[in-house]
């Protein structure tokens, strides 16, 4: 009987310890975070609209500020531009044409439930004069991948665009 009590006591102690650990693990888990996708998508749409205004105004510095430091651009008929200097060179070339008029419109923005990544798709139009003064109109589409920075600000990490023709 004495042996039985010792075994039963040890088993009860182990069971209590396991229960305590189980309860502790459940309370240690963080509560689920609220779904911020709608707010993130609205923030990205606002950033995208502002970015388009900045590009239309040919504000090079402000246009570059929408990228994360390690972001890449994938412009048509140009090499991939990764890093600040490569993006600066690409944007300088894109903003160079005389009488450049630029606009874009986001058609879809979707943020991940994790709250750290999102993508945007849309269309753009630009018109300018070529070297001979001939008016040119370009219509195209784009994809931007956005990443939330440690500051909470959304920055582009991949910017892909090309023309329809």
Segments making up each domain of the chain, as ranges:
1-31, 37-163
The pLDDT of residue 34: 72
Task: Tokens for 132, please give them.
Answer: 């001979």
pLDDT at 20 over 60: no
In angstroms, what CA-CA distances link 16 with 9, 10, 22, 25, 88? 10, 10, 10, 14, 64
Question: For residue range 78-116, what is the model confidence (pLDDT) as tens digits?
Answer: 999 999 999 999 999 999 987 999 999 999 999 999 999
CATH of 37-163, one of 3.40.50.300, 3.40.190.10, 3.10.450.50, 3.40.50.720: 3.10.450.50
Query: DSSP string covering 97-127, please?
Result: SEEEEEEEEEEEEEE-TTSSEEEEEEEEEEE
Residue 67: pLDDT band with limits 50, 70, 90: very high
The pLDDT of residue 100: 92
pLDDT at 123 over 50: yes
Burial status of residue 123 (CB atoms within 10 A of its CB: 0-12, 13-18, 19 or more)? middle
pLDDT at 137 over 90: yes
Mean of pLDDT over the chain = 85
The pLDDT of residue 130: 86
The pLDDT of residue 76: 92
Separation of alpha carbons 143 and 108, rounded Å:
10
Higher pLDDT, 12 or 43: 43
pTM: 0.78
């Amino acid at each position: 009987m004495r042996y039985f009590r010792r075994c039963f006591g040890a088993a009860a102690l182990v069971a209590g310890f396991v229960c305590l650990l189980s309860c502790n693990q459940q309370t240690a888990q963080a509560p689920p975070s609220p779904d911020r996708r709608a707010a993130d998508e609205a923030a990205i749409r606002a950033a995208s609209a502002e970015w388009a205004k900045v590009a239309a105004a040919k504000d090079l510095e402000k246009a570059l500020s929408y990228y994360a430091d390690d972001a890449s651009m994938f412009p048509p008929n140009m090499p991939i531009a990764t890093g600040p200097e490569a993006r600066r060179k690409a944007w300088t070339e894109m903003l160079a044409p005389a009488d450049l008029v630029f606009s874009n419109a986001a058609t879809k923005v979707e943020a991940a439930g994790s709250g750290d990544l999102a993508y945007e798709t849309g269309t753009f139009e630009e018109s300018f004069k070529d070297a001979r003064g001939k008016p040119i109109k370009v219509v195209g589409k784009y994809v931007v991948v956005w990443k939330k920075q440690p500051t909470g600000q959304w920055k582009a990490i991949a910017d892909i665009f090309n023309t329809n023709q």
